[in-house]
């Protein structure tokens, strides 16, 4: 049955007997169990990037704004825009290397002509470690230009630095407000007790086993890790077979 984080944590504790990883047995409040559950979710994400993990992030960009920062994206598949100015038409942007875009649009940002975006590229928003403490108020003591794409220390709302962020730029910058859609593979997020993920809803058994595997790995129990991987592998193989069957069925339907 589908489980949220609290339910997964409860089952994880009951199966392992590690009641020290929750505050007490009455409410199963986290006292370290989430660490292993989240590690298990990451392992599952990495070993079976299923279609259900393709999600879309949608945000409006105002005229002249050409950068979007977002979190928890493992890989970007497509980028689209939709504009009210064009009666809601959707346009898929063409991916380009950032070096190509910088050569194609070499002028300072303030001098680039606005228009209908046609291209996108991933962009680094990170400064080198020796400059990680620079802020939007003091960076000019070290450099003057080409600062628009940088995430400075005072702009990091999550307080984790640039590491958890992805960013893309679009060119040319839009001449009116557009809705930007980023389609990609996003990480499973289980942080609040009521949070759910693909794994916790569709394959709660794999979620619990993966958390146990993470626990066994922590204590260097090689045999325990192997046992859990074998058990999870059977589940993943079944998921893979279902996905293949669906693809074959769609091909047969189109062919018929």
**In degrees to the nearest 10, what's the CA dihedral of 171, 173, 177, 182?**
30
Q: Where are the alpha helices (DSSP H) in 23-148?
A: 33-47, 98-104
Q: What is the mean pLDDT of the chain?
A: 90
pLDDT digits 0-9 by tens, 56-101: 999 999 999 999 999 989 999 999 999 877 667 899 999 999 999 9
Average pLDDT over every residue of 155-182: 88
> Are residues 156 and 40 located together in one domain of the fold?
no
72: left (phi over 0), alpha (psi -120 to 50) or beta: left
> Are residues 164 and 237 located together in one domain of the fold?
no
> Are residues 164 and 146 located together in one domain of the fold?
yes
pLDDT digits 0-9 by tens, 94-140: 999 999 999 999 999 889 999 999 999 999 999 999 999 999 999 99
pLDDT of residue 239: 85
Domain limits for position 36 = 5-14+29-44+189-215+226-255
Domain count, the chain: 2
pLDDT of residue 256: 52
Tell if the pTM clears 0.95, that is, is over it: no
């Amino acid at each position: 049955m589908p489980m949220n984080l609290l339910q997964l944590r409860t089952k994880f504790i009951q199966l392992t007997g590690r009641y020290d990883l929750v505050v007490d047995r009455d409410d199963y409040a986290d006292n370290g169990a989430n660490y292993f559950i989240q590690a298990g979710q990451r392992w599952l994400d990495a070993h079976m990037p299923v279609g259900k993990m393709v999600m879309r992030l949608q945000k409006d960009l105002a005229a002249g704004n050409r950068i979007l920062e977002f979190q928890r994206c493992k890989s970007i598949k497509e980028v689209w825009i939709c504009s009210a100015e064009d009666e809601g038409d959707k346009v898929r942007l063409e991916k380009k290397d950032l070096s190509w875009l910088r050569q194609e649009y070499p002028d300072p940002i303030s001098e680039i002509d606005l228009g209908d975006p046609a291209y996108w590229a991933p962009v680094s928003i990170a400064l080198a470690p020796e400059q990680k403490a620079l802020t939007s108020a003091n960076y000019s003591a070290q450099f003057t230009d080409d600062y628009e794409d940088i995430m400075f220390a005072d702009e990091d709302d999550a307080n984790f630095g640039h590491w958890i962020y992805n960013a893309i730029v679009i060119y040319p910058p839009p001449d009116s407000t557009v809705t930007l859609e980023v389609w990609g593979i996003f990480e499973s997020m289980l942080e609040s007790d009521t949070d759910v993920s693909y794994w916790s809803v569709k394959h709660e058994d794999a979620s619990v086993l993966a958390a146990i595997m993470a626990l066994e790995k922590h204590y260097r129990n090689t045999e325990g890790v192997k046992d859990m991987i074998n058990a999870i592998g059977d589940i993943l193989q079944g998921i893979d077979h279902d996905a293949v069957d669906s693809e074959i069925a769609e091909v047969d339907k189109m062919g018929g």
